């Protein structure tokens, strides 16, 4: 088993539809032991059964914007696991109005919240866990194509993802001196709790399905398997990478097109609907 003997922490799992769930499932199936965090009591009720599903009783309250939570996390993790070999950062947030209003209407406060929760938390979390991360630990975060490219309605979260991807590269250099690795997975659109806040998300799903080379969307299981590889020793020579798991959509330079019954060239989206 690829992850046998490996111990890790999954931060940001919300339910069994989360990408983080797919990652935890893949790691568990390959022998890993894991701890999990929850944001509040409402999510604790969802996370605890999932932890038990994966044979774990290690569940910790963690609001990444709460200094006390961050300061006490390493001690709790060390008590249950000693050192950990991998860390999954699945945390992102922006105020609702920052996603529903035009990007140019983003307030300074909303911008700062999005950057703090979605980006700085990766740096802060890694620093907070420095004492319990093994010398060859692998750290993984989650991005989206809305970082390097414009995606409708993604707004300030796209800017945050761009910053997150740059953070991965800079962290890779600093952590590489210690022998630790950091990477990101840029997953295609998936129906998750977080995605519910993106306007016209169904259209994004349909567009990706029609225009991706594989003509389908990805699942949390597919993302989970790729993540497990990056977290494992199989990827011991990989760091600073943004790994796309999106059925190839990211390679497309323009939308697929075809000719309709009237002989006019139309986008695949228009032809399908």
Over residues 93-135, the pLDDT tens digits come to 999 999 889 999 999 999 999 999 999 999 999 999 999 999 9
In this prediction, residue 204 carries a pLDDT of 85
**Is it true that domain 7-272 has CATH number 3.30.43.10?**
no
Q: Is 120 a catalytic residue?
A: no
Count of beta carbons in the 10 Å neighbourhood of residue 43: 17
pLDDT at 273 over 80: no
- CA–CA separation, 121 vs 218, rounded Å? 26
Instruction: Name the nearest CA neighbour of 245 among 185, 193, 205, 195.
Output: 185
pLDDT at 195 over 80: no
pLDDT at 43 over 60: yes
Helix (H) or strand (E) holding 128: helix 121-128
In this prediction, residue 261 carries a pLDDT of 67
pLDDT at 181 over 70: yes
In this prediction, residue 256 carries a pLDDT of 72
The percentage of the chain sitting over the pLDDT mark of 70, rounded to a whole number, equals 92
pLDDT confidence of 260, banded at 50, 70, 90?
low
Residue extents of the structural domains in the chain: 7-272
Q: Is 154 a catalytic residue?
A: yes
Which of 60, 154, 229, 249 is an active site residue?
Answer: 154
- CA–CA separation, 233 vs 249, rounded Å? 28
The strand pairing partners of 86, in sequence order, are: 8, 138
Contact status, residue 132 vs residue 75, Cβ threshold 8 Å:
no
In this prediction, residue 254 carries a pLDDT of 82
pLDDT confidence of 192, banded at 50, 70, 90?
confident
In this prediction, residue 203 carries a pLDDT of 82
pLDDT at 196 over 90: no
Which of 144, 229, 244, 249 is an active site residue?
Answer: 144
């Amino acid at each position: 088993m690829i992850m046998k003997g490996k111990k890790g922490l999954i931060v940001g799992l919300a339910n069994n539809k989360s990408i983080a769930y797919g990652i935890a499932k893949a790691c568990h199936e390959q022998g890993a032991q894991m701890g999990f965090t929850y944001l509040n009591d409402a999510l604790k009720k969802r996370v605890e059964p999932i932890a038990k599903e994966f044979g774990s009783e290690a569940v910790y309250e963690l609001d990444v914007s709460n200094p006390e939570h961050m300061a006490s996390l390493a001690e709790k993790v060390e008590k249950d696991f000693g050192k950990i070999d991998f860390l999954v950062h699945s945390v992102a947030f922006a105020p609702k109005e920052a996603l529903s209003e035009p990007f140019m209407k983003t307030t300074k406060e909303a911008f700062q919240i999005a950057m703090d929760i979605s980006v700085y938390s990766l740096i802060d979390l890694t620093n907070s866990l420095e004492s319990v991360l093994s010398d060859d630990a692998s750290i993984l975060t989650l991005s989206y194509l809305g970082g390097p490219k414009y995606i409708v309605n993604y707004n300030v979260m796209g800017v945050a993802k761009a910053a997150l991807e740059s953070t991965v590269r800079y962290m890779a250099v600093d952590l590489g001196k210690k022998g630790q690795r950091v990477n990101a997975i840029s997953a295609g659109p998936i129906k998750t709790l977080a995605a519910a806040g993106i306007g016209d998300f169904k259209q994004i799903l349909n567009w990706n399905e029609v225009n991706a080379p594989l003509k389908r969307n990805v699942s949390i299981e597919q993302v989970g398997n790729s993540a497990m590889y990056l977290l494992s020793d199989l990827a011991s020579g990989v760091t600073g990478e943004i790994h796309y798991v999106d059925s190839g959509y990211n390679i497309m330079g323009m939308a697929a097109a075809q000719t309709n019954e009237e002989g006019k060239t139309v986008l695949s989206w228009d032809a399908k609907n």
